[in-house]
Amino acid sequence: MSRIEIREDRCKGCLLCTTVCPKEIIKQADRFNQHGYKPAEVPAGDMKKCTGCASCATICPDVAITVYKTKKKAKKGASHG
Amino acid sequence: MYQDEELVFSCPQVVADRPTHYCPGCHHGVAHRLVGELLEEMGLVEKTIMVTAIGCSVFLYNYLLVDAVEAPHGRAPAVATGVKRAKPDKFVFTYQGDGDLASIGMAEIMHCANRGERVSVVFVNNTVYGMTGGQMAPTTLIGQKTTTCPGGRCAEREGMPIKMAEIIASLGGSAYVARTALNNVKNINKTKKCLRKAFEVQTSGLGFGFVEVLSACPTNWKMSAIKANERIANEMIPYFPLGVFKDATADVTGEAAGKGEEGK
């Protein structure tokens, strides 16, 4: 499963990541972080839609997002569908 | 990290693990990361001396973990000239804003480029003086309101915004000159490629490398970060066309340099 990790203490709530996500799964949280910004988050359950494209991390001015991508399956596994 | 996944994006080691003082949506963070990634990828971290300028990016030495010299306002290209001539085996770049480079530092950048010093310049253009509170810069667009032109910049009174990339490209010593933007993922990736070229003309000894990076200042533009990114596409790029204005490496291989048309 591809996924992103948002460092909430680094997020300044600029929301640029929400504009570039192709699956539109990044939303603004209702809570405040320690700096008083409302950080970006992925609501529970939506993370499975993440494709690991890293667009959000590329545009994040605070380098607050780490991206993990699912490893491509070996050819043997792919033949089983 | 789980077994079935791989890390595809993380913060480069050379970028310090500390929060920046920049406002939400400020593009300095993206520019810092791109420079940091390139220094790592090109193996230059140990031999880099960066020359930082005055402006919001004055604290760059807190965020990029390489050796640095802090230059007086606008004089970064002059300081970089001295550093490079004293230590020709080092990689020297300056990181300047538009108030620093295009206004008070105009003489230094022009002569540094004209002499063809083997340094690279990262020029972050956000059309306003950010640190001092949003005064008019030489690059402020016509009609843009700032604290020193509250009615909007007027061409008759203040002149037209200066197009630095075109000016630098017309000078004899420059080897690579490009203008890029940081408003979307495609342009960010393109910026990284252009920065790499600008760094390479220095490492290969060809001459002066210059990249003008159009970036947002949501605070002094008095708009949200998302609106600021739209402004880059709708107002800045039509006046400051993106593209490669000079490429000495292309001349060597016989390829034609871009004519500044792409990205319009």
The reply to whether residue B24 touches residue A13, judged by beta carbons under 8 angstroms, is yes
Task: Assess A51–B contact: CB distance below 8 Å, yes or no.
Answer: no
d(CA A3, CA A27): 15
Report the number of distinct structural domains present in chain B: 1
Q: A22: domain range?
A: 3-69
B133 against A80, higher pLDDT: B133
Residues 6+ apart with CB under 8 A from B101: B53, B74, B76, B109, B121, B123, B164
| Tokens read off for B190 | 């393109």
Q: What is the DSSP letter of B99?
A: H
DSSP B227: H
Say if B182 falls within a structural domain. yes
Task: Decide if pLDDT at B147 tops 90.
Answer: yes
Compute the average pLDDT of residues B136-152.
95
- Residues from chain A contacting residue B227 (CB–CB below 8 Å): none
Residues 15-44 of B with CB under 8 A from A: 15, 19-20, 22-30, 33
DSSP-derived letter for residue B123 is E
Q: How many domains does chain A have?
A: 1
User: Is residue B252 very low, low, confident or very high in pLDDT (cuts 50, 70, 90)?
Assistant: low
Smallest Cβ–Cβ distance between B9 and the set A37, A62, A67 belongs to A67
Q: Cα–Cα distance between B61 and B117 in angstroms, integer?
A: 23
Q: Say yes or no for a CB contact (<8 Å) between B8 and A55.
A: no
Q: Residue written as tokens 């810092």?
A: B32
Nearest CA-CA distance, residue A61 and chain B, Å: 4
Q: Which segments of chain A are extended strands (E)?
A: 3-6, 27-28, 40-41, 65-70
The CATH number linked to B125 is: 3.40.50.970
Which contiguous run of DSSP H or E holds residue B50? Answer: strand B48-52
Best of B185, B221, B224, B226 to mutate (most A CBs within 10 Å, chain A): B185
Percentage of residues in chain B with pLDDT exceeding 70?
Answer: 95
Mean pLDDT of B28-36: 96
* Rounded mean pLDDT, B201-211: 95
CA B143-B182-B118 angle, 5° bins:
105
Q: Which of A1, A8, A6, A3 is nearest to A65 (CA)?
A: A6
Q: Is A24 on the interface with B (CB under 8 A)?
A: no
Q: Within a domain: residue B243? A: yes
For residue B247, count CB atoms less than 10 angstroms from its CB and return exposed for 0-12, middle for 13-18, buried for 19 or more.
buried
Is the minimum CB–CB distance between A74 and chain B shorter than 8 Å? Answer: no
Residue B20 counted as domain residue: no
> Cβ B225–A14 below 8 Å, yes or no?
yes
pLDDT digit string, tens, across residues B210-247: 999 999 999 999 999 999 999 999 999 999 999 999 99
What's residue B29's pLDDT?
A: 95
Long-range contacts of B133-136 (CB under 8 A, 24+ apart): B133/B220, B134/B217, B134/B219, B134/B220, B135/B99
What's the pLDDT score for residue B250?
79
Q: What ipTM was estimated for this complex?
A: 0.88
pLDDT at position B257: 45
B229 to chain A nearest CA, in Å? 9
pLDDT at A75: 59
Assigned domain for A61 exists: yes
| Separation in Å, CA B110 to CA B100, B162, B201, B210 | 13, 13, 18, 11
CB spacing of A16 vs B1 below 8 angstroms: no
Report helix, strand or coil for B213: strand
Q: How far is B95 from chain A (nearest CA, A)?
A: 17
Give residues 196 to 235 of B whose Cβ lies within 8 Å of A: 218, 224-226, 229
In a domain, B176, yes or no: yes
Q: What is the percentage of chain B residues whose pLDDT exceeds 90?
A: 91
pLDDT for B127 beyond 90:
yes
| pLDDT above 80: residue B259 | no
Average pLDDT along chain B = 93
CB-based contact A68 B29, cutoff 8 Å: no
At residue B3 the predicted structure's pLDDT band, cuts being 50, 70 and 90, is: confident
Strand pairing class (A65-70; A3-6)? antiparallel
Contacts of B184 in chain A (CB under 8 A): 20, 59
Q: What is the pLDDT of residues B91-126, one digit of tens each?
A: 999 999 999 999 999 999 999 999 999 999 999 999
Strand partners, A5: A66
pLDDT of residue B222: 95
| Mean pLDDT of the region B128-135 | 93
pLDDT of residue B1: 73
Phi, psi angles (nearest 5°) of residue B44: -105, -5
Mutation for B interface: A37, A62, A67, most B CBs within 10 A: A62
Do residues B229 and B187 lie in contact, with contact meaning Cβ atoms separated by under 8 Å? no
Q: How many CB atoms lie within 10 A of CB B168?
A: 28
Gap between the Cα atoms of A31 and A38, Å rounded? 6
Assess contact for A47 and A3: CB atoms under 8 A. Answer: yes
Domain that holds residue B141: 28-252
Per-residue confidence of chain A (81 residues) as pLDDT tens digits?
799 999 999 999 999 999 999 999 999 999 999 999 999 999 989 999 999 999 999 999 999 999 999 987 765 554 454
Determine the residue among A11, A68, A71, A73 to mutate to test chain B binding: the one whose Cβ has the most chain B Cβ atoms within 10 Å. A68
């309101």: which residue's tokens? B145
Confidence class of residue B256 from pLDDT cuts 50, 70 and 90? very low
Q: Would residue A26 count as lying in a domain?
A: yes
Query: Could A67 and B6 be called an inter-chain contact, meaning their C-beta atoms sit closer than 8 Å?
Result: no
Residue B96, amino acid? Q
DSSP element (H, E) containing B168: helix B164-169
- The CATH number of whichever domain residue A20 belongs to comes to 3.30.70.20
State pLDDT tens for residues B148-194.
999 999 999 999 999 999 999 999 999 999 999 999 999 999 999 99
